[in-house]
Structure formats: C-alpha cells, structure tokens
Chains A and B, each alone.
Chain A
Amino acid sequence: MFEAILLTVITASTPLVIAALGELVTERAGVLNLGVEGMMIMGAVAAFAAAKMTGSPYIGLLGGIAGGALFSLLFGFLTLTLVANQVATGLALTILGLGLSGQLGEPFAGQPGLPLPDIVIPGLSQIPFFGKVLFSQDLTFYLSIALVVGVNWFLFKSRTGLKVRAIGDNHASAHALGISVIRTRYLAVIFGGACAGLAGAQLSLVYTPQWVENMSAGRGWIALALVVFASWRPWRVLAGGYLFGAVTIGQLHAQAFGIAVPSQLLSALPYIATIVVLIIISHNRRTTLINTPASLGKPFVPDR
C-alpha cells in the first residue's frame, strides 16, 4: 500500500521537477517565462502524436521535447529579439498553447496511448522496497534525477553556468564583459521549453498515457511556483517537487479515506507554501540578493 502511494507520488512529482528545472535555468539567465503551462501542454500533445505516428513512445518523448522547445522559441523571438514584455508574452504563450494543443490533439482524443515502458535496472531493483520504487521506473524519472544533478553542476561548477548566472544577475555588466547576453538567453529559454515539453511528454506517455485536452491541469503554474519555492536552487527543486507531488496525491487519498480536508485547500497548498517561502527569503536582503536573479524579467537592449 505504502509502496503504491510512493510510486504514484513519484509519477506525480517527476513532471513538476523537470518543468521547474527548465524554468530555473531560464530564470537564472534573467528571463521570466510564464508560459510553462503552455509549453508543457504543447509537449504533451506533440509527444502523444509522435508516439502514435511512429509507434515508439521514445520517439514520442523526443517529439515532446521538440514541441516544447519550438514553442519556447516563439517566446524567445518575441521577448529577446523584439523585446516584448516578458510577463505578457508568457501569459499569451500559455493561452495560445492550451488552445493550439486542443486543436492539434483533436484527432488523438480518446485513442489508446503508448505508455513508456519501465526500465528495470538489474541488481539494484532487487533491493527490498527501495529497489522497486527507485530502480524500476520509466526513463523520465531517471532523466529528472539526472537533470537535477546536471543542472546543479552546470550552474555552480561550470564556466558556462557561471556566465548564465552572471547574465541573470546583471545583464549590462555581462554585456560589458563580452558575454553574449541574447544568445545565452535564447539557449536558456529553449532549454526551459525542452524541459517543459519533456514534462508534458511524461504526462501523456506515463502519468495518464492518453491525450486529453487541458491535461496539464495547472502543473505548469505549480512548476513556476516551485522555482521560487526552491529559491532558484536545483536540489531544492527536487525536494519541493516531491513535497508538492505528495500534496497532490495526498489530496486524492484523503478523499478516498473520507478524511474531511477540503480539496481546494490542498490544491492551494503549493501556492501557499511558495508565498511563505517568498516571505522568508525577502525578509533577509542578503539572501534575496544572492539567490534571486536580479535582472529577472527585465528586457535587455544593448546600448548603441
């Protein structure tokens, strides 16, 4: 029983972690992309379509990544090249994504899906309890963990990651140092889109292997809140993602057991937790300065 709950928590948390990691990199580069929900749903529909058309859920996964990345490119072009307002563009991206995915996905609605198979790791999966939970999962789970490690290493140990953080902190100074602000931001936005697309693919290939309109169901917004909740740190995204995932699952089980917790309260919990974290980190000016990308959401136009 407990094992079953844990497995569902993992499945519910994985897309949150992946999408939030992508957005974390985007925001660390100083770009606020509120279109995560839209990119996620585009990834979900692209993944489902690609899987159906090729018969391979793995190609479906690639299709999801490509769908999210291409959609984010639209955001990048509007906000980075045309210097449109990031908040407005991000919101528009979400609205467009929800509508467009419904349109594109119509022929696939109600069709049986192609679930991504579990990969059982020999040996490790024999470990009692943890073996089953941690080592016989689908590819997206392993990818999510690899992404946490990889993004953390990239941002805090690699030189390119340092440049990304520098751009997010002060784009004018980064430009003065000869770092290509716009190009780096494009790459960060595309990475964010690819991650959101991968998270969407997980929804339509693993979580509920089928295509349903609006199936992202607000997870993109939770991922956005998660980035702030984690104060822009990858390991905290992992912890927060599982906390938020557990809350979502707990909500279902509470109802099943007839525990009288209003489901609205539980759905609101991720956002309440984010507000609490925001209050805590804003209280100390120093932690705010050190963790928050200072140029987040600010347009960059090199002076000429």
Chain B
Amino acid sequence: MALSKAQQAVPLLSVSKLTKLFGSFAACNGIDLDIAPGEIHALLGENGAGKSTLVKMLFGVLQPSEGQISFEGRPVTITSPGDARHLGIGMVFQHFSLFEALTVAENIALSLDPKIPLAKIAQEAASLSKAYGLPLDPNAHVADLSVGERQRIEIVRALLQNPKLIILDEPTSVLTPQEADRLFETLFKLRAEGRSVLYISHRLEEVRRICDGATVLRHGKVTGACDPKQETPASLARMMVGAEVAEIHREAGATLGDLRLEVSNLTVPAKTPFAVTLKNVGMKVRTGEILAIAGVAGNGQGELFDALSGEYTVPQDDAIRIRGKSVGRTGINGRRLLGAGFVPEERHGHAAVSGMALSDNLLLARSRSDRKAFLSGGLFSLIRKGAVSSATKRICDVMDVRKSGDDPLAGSLSGGNLQKFIVGRELDRQPSVLIVNQPTWGVDAGAASRIRQALIDLAKAGSAVVVISQDLDEIFEVATNIAVISEGKLSEPHPAGELSLERIGLMMGGIHESHSVPEAASAH
C-alpha cells in the first residue's frame, strides 16, 4: 500500500516481528509497524486486540518476547519507561497514572527536568498549561478534579517532556468536540514541528480526520495498514472487527407508555468543595423511552447518578419516584427491589470488584434484589452456587462476553468485555427502570454497539431507560429524548430528532467555555 512520503524517509520508530507471549498466549504476534517523522499514526483495534500490550512494550513497561524495536534507525532495547523517555517517547495513558494526593504542579514536577526548582514549577505549570490551551489550577489536588481535567494534566505532562514520539491512548474519549478540536490543533502543531504521534482511538471519524497512516490490529496480529483518509468508517471498522459492525437498529416513533421514573425539584448540595451542586433537577421517563443526558465531564453527572441510584439518599422523599413510589430516602437495594437497575461509571472498584470472579460480582450486586434466586432460605442464607454460575454463564452468552475460563476475575477481562458483563448483569433482571452512567466509556466499537443495542431493546420491551453519556454519537444512536446537564442544572428534554449534533455540542461546549474562564483566571 502506498503511503506517499510517510514511508520514504527513515522511520522514526520501526517495529519488526514484535511478539509478546503470556504463557502460551500471544498477546502480540509478529507485529510490524513504521512511524515516519512528523506523522500522526493511528493504532486501531478492538479491546483485547493487543494494542495495550504493544504500547506497553514501546514504553518499556513490558519486555517483548521476540522481535526488534528501532528508534531513529538504531535498534534499541527499552527496559523501563525511563529508557523510553530518554529516547524521546512520551505517553498519555488511558487509565490516568496521576497521583491523587498530590497537586497538579507536583504531578507535573515528577516528570520534569529535575533541575527546575520545585518552588518554580507551580508558575511554570500555569504558564505552560495556558500555552497549550489546557486551563489548569496548578495548586489544586488531583483528587478534586474531574476526569476531563485530569486528562489535561496527563497531556500537558507528556508534552512537557519534549518527546519525538508521543503516544496517546484514547485521548478524546472524555472531551467535548470543542476540546477535542483544541487537542487536534496541538497535535497538528507537534506534527509541524516534526514530531510523531501514535494515536490510539476507537473513534473512526476522528482517525480519518487527523491521522496520516493507520495500523489495524486484531487478535494480536496486524490485519491492515492503510491511509485512513482513503477509507470509510465502515471499511476501517471491518478491518478492526473482521466483519461489519452491527448497525444499531431502532424503530422510529416508539410509543411511550406509563410514567416509570419521575424526578422533581431534586436539589443536592455539593459533598466536597469541588463537587457539583444539583439544582432543581426534574425529569420524567416513561416505558419505551430512553432519556439521554448529555454533558461535559464534571457538570454533575456523577452526582445525578448517585442521587438516582440511591448511593446517596436525599432528604426529600418525593423528589425521586420510581413506579409511583417515593424513594428519595430509600437506598440502592430498596430501589432495586422496586425493579430499578443501575450501572455506575467506573468499571473497576465501583461497578465491579476487580479481584473477584464474575460470579461473585454478580452475587454482590443482586444478592438482595434476587435473593430468592441466589440464596437458600434459612439461618445462614447459603449461596446457591449452581444458580449463580448459570446466571453468570447466561449473561456472558447473551452479551457475548469474551473471557478466558468459565469464571475469571473481573479484573482479567478487557474493558469492553467487563462493561458488557456489568450491563448484562442488570439487563438479566429485566429492570423496569435502568439508569446507566457512561455505558461505553473506553469500550471498543463492537462492544459499544452491542451495549447500545441492548439498551434500545430493553426500552422497546417496556422499560424506562436513562443514559448519562459524554459521547454525542452514542446519545444520538440511542436516545428518544435528550436533555443536557451543565453545572448541575438539567435542561428540558428535546426529542432526539429535533436537535442536531452541532447544537448540543455547542450548548455543552459554550457552557463549558464560560465555566473555564474563571478557572483560568484563578491560575495566576
């Protein structure tokens, strides 16, 4: 395949026959990859395709079993992240490697030239983050920041090392379209300076828009190398998953039935100085309806989910009504017993215990609401192992959860597969009300379309569904009605057909812009 000028120069990074074995399992199998100086190169692949393993080898976190990495024409052995940085490779991780107990400036200082005195770094960080158009308060503790703000630190931190090659893992998954545009400007600037970017993304449109070359992985092998600008999203997706990605199927003009979830005048004061106060939130969700709540990270989505799920109860009992019953003061299990189901945002540690088997995770969530099915009666409520494991198997089959072994640890599944399991765990109960926060964050295209289809099917079968999401494409795929949350206030819902992608993006982005101005000002 001709890649114009990109392949004519000596590649900055050249990988040949790179293989990583875990036992007998080849996570990467004979990977070849070339990145030219000044190229934005996309790495595409489903979760579990071997992208993370490849990137970890490039960054010195893992050692290859076989194969050779060359940097600037010379063969190199990268034994640690320090080596990688020394060569000029920078990395922005998908799961942020930030220190929550430290301030923004301290986090940045840890990866800066040790000659700069610590006292100066706060000022330095403020001016540098401003130069990159990523407003940050250097003295804020990371523990108090939103996911989006944390990513800014990661990006600034990697850029500050002045790398020749910068690896970005799913960088735009938490950004607004406007923020993403700003990031792309930064990337184009880096490219103009002759630096290269290895860009990992599931967003095919984005890859087509900004990348000069692409390498596609499937099951640890390269299945395609192409110029993404010459491809269509569908053809890229085909290389990635090996078959056409299932089109989301939704019938127009769904009929809405009874009121299932009613929220009125829900006001929840912020729990920490940096959390968001929910102000007078109201919504009505009927059977057959999917209400999608759009918004930029850190505008009250987490707080809204906590209030709706009962993770934090509210004093006004009738602020939240599920199937006509006031549940404001009822906890999670009480709401579940009324037929509601909840899928929180964080897969690890919130929706699932990584160190426990899938069946245990199933039981943890449903031991109360489905106690008859999973626990025997009597004094000790013994666990009915057979029922739990058959339910686990049923969920994995229905949701196509790919795993090793019958009942592996939740933490051993890839993000997409674990998310399918977590969503499936709730769907298996056929909840009459389902509330999902960020259902497909960091999930590959195949798993995302599976989850979205499942949500649509659930609504069609007569449930009321609330989807809180930052992904506008997702919102338009699934929503019957759309509302926007910003600074703790929820807008009126609009039928999905009456809103354009651009308009919602601007609503969210516009609100965000005005929000970030005082933040930037306080940085001085």
Contact surface of A with B, Cβ cutoff 8 Å: 157-159, 162-163, 165-166, 168-170, 172-179, 284-286, 289-294, 303-304
In the complex, residue of chain B having the shortest beta-carbon distance to the beta carbon of A304: B63
B110 contacts which of A168, A172, A177, A303 (Cβ < 8 Å)?
A177
A294 touches B111 (CB 8 A): no
- Is B97 touching A178 in the complex (CB atoms < 8 A)? no
Partner of A177, one of B81, B144, B271: B81
Q: What is the count of residue pairs linking A and B with beta-carbon distances less than 8 angstroms?
A: 76
Q: Report A127 CB to chain B, min CB distance, Å.
A: 34
One of A158, A173, A286, A291 near B98 (C-beta < 8 A): A173
Q: Could you tell me the dominant secondary structure of chain A's interface residues?
A: helix
Determine the distance from Cα of A165 to Cα of B63 in the docked complex, in whole angstroms. Answer: 28
Question: In the bound complex, do residue A166 and residue B100 qualify as a contact, i.e. CB atoms below 8 Å apart?
Answer: no
Chain A residues contacting B143 (CB-CB under 8 Å) are: 286, 289-290
How many B residues touch the partner, as a band? 20 to 34
Q: Which of B101-109, B337-345, B512-520 contacts A (4 or more CB under 8 A)?
A: B101-109
Of the residues B97, B111, B141, contact of A290 by C-beta under 8 Å: B141
Measured in the bound complex, the distance between the Cα atoms of B114 and A130 in whole Å is: 42
| In contact, B100 and A294 (Cβ under 8 angstroms) | yes
Q: For residue B109, which residues in chain A have a CB less than 8 angstroms away from its CB?
A: 159, 162
Min distance, Cβ A240 to any Cβ of chain B, angstroms: 20
Contact status A166-B80, CB under 8 Å? no
- Closest Cβ of chain A to B160, distance in Å, is 13
Question: Which residues of chain B are within 8 angstroms of A292 by Cβ–Cβ distance?
Answer: 101
Q: Of all chain B residues, which has the CB nearest A286?
A: B272
The smallest C-beta distance from B66 to any residue of chain A, in angstroms, reads 15
Query: Which residues from chain B contact A176 at a C-beta distance below 8 Å?
Result: 59, 61, 81, 93, 97
Specify the chain A residue showing the minimal Cβ separation from B271. Answer: A285
User: Considering the complex, which residues of chain B in the window 258-285 have a beta carbon less than 8 Å from any beta carbon of chain A?
Assistant: 271-274
Distance A159 CA – B111 CA, assembled complex (angstroms): 11
- Bound Cα distance A94, B85 (Å): 42
Interface string of B92-132 (1 = CB under 8 A from A): 01000111111000100111001000110000000000000
Q: Which residues of B contact A177 (CB under 8 A)?
A: 81, 97, 110-111
Chain B contacts for A166, CB-based, 8 A: 99, 102, 106, 110
In Å, the complex CA distance between A168 and B81 comes to 19
Q: Does B88 contact A (CB under 8 A)?
A: no
Contacts of A175 in B (CB 8 A): 81
The verdict on B391 contacting chain A, using a C-beta distance below 8 Å, is no
| Chain A residue with Cβ nearest B107 | A166
Q: Are A303 and B62 in contact (CB under 8 A)?
A: yes
CA separation between A179 and B111, bound complex, in Å? 10
Could you tell me the distance between the alpha carbons of A103 and B80 in the complex, rounded to whole angstroms?
46
Q: A178-B81, A290-B141, A304-B63 are in contact. Are A170 and B110 (CB under 8 A)?
A: no
User: By the criterion CB–CB under 8 Å, are A294 and B101 in contact?
Assistant: yes
